[in-house]
């Protein structure tokens, strides 16, 4: 085995000539993968004048220097384009929107977060979906305005998926 299993980083071998080439190539890939940030949403066409160190997510149907690298992370370096194929569980950040882009089930997903709860300042503000709550009904004294307000709150909670 002459490279790592996940990201194909080259190993150095005893007696290997030009070790600095292999070492520098590994450093280029590590630089791409350590807290990766892409310049916007996926594109199938490479930019005409990319800055050294800028990275991009390649959309299907890639052309030019990106051809045959659909779904990969492309980063421009002093030596040209470097590519890392998509790995399940990989996470990127879109510099423009600040959204996370995650590789899940063989696809890139933007802006989706999977969690059991959302905690703000140490307090859980959203947890798993709760059972359904029926709209207000019945009663001896009916306050129409209150019933309408409660109904609107319940409808909003249902629309946001907080209750069934």
Q: What is the DSSP string of the chain?
A: --B-TTT-PBPP-TT-TTHHHHHHHHHHHHHHHSS-EESSS-BSS--SSPPTT-EEEBPSS--GGGTT-TT-EEEEETTEEEEE---TT-EEEETTT--EEEEETTEEEES----S-EEETTEEEE-SPBPP-PPP---SS--HHHHHHHHHHHHHHHHTTSB-
In sequence order, what are the residues at sequence separation of 6 or more whose Cβ sits closer than 8 angstroms to the Cβ of residue 127?
116, 117
Distance CA 58, CA 44 (A): 5
User: What pLDDT is recorded for position 68?
Assistant: 96
Q: What is the chain's pLDDT, residue by residue, as a tens digit (164 residues)?
A: 788 888 888 888 888 888 888 888 888 888 888 889 999 989 999 999 999 999 999 999 999 999 999 999 999 998 899 999 999 999 999 999 999 999 999 999 998 888 888 899 999 888 888 888 888 888 888 899 999 999 999 999 888 888 88
User: What local confidence, expressed as pLDDT, does residue 39 receive?
Assistant: 95
Phi-psi region for residue 153, left (φ > 0), alpha (ψ -120 to 50) or beta? alpha
Residue 76 and residue 53 in contact, taking contact as beta carbons nearer than 8 Å:
yes
Confidence at residue 61, expressed as pLDDT on a 0 to 100 scale? 96
d(CA 122, CA 83): 40
Q: Hey, what are 102's tokens?
A: 């995650």
């Amino acid at each position: 085995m002459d490279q790592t299993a996940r990201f194909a980083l080259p190993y150095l071998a005893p007696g290997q000539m030009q070790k600095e080439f292999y070492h520098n190539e590994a450093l280029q890939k590590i630089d791409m993968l350590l807290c990766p940030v892409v310049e916007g949403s996926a594109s199938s066409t490479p930019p005409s004048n990319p800055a050294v160190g800028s990275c991009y997510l390649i959309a299907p149907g890639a052309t030019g220097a990106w051809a045959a690298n659909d779904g990969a992370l492309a980063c421009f370096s002093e030596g040209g384009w470097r590519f890392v194929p998509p790995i399940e569980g990989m996470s990127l950040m879109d510099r423009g929107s600040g959204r996370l882009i995650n590789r899940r089930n063989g696809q890139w997903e933007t802006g989706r977060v999977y969690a059991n709860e959302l905690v703000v300042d140490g307090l859980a503000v959203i947890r798993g979906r709760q059972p359904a709550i029926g709209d207000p009904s019945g009663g001896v004294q009916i306050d129409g305005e209150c019933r309408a307000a409660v109904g609107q709150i319940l409808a909003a909670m249902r629309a946001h998926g907080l209750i069934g």
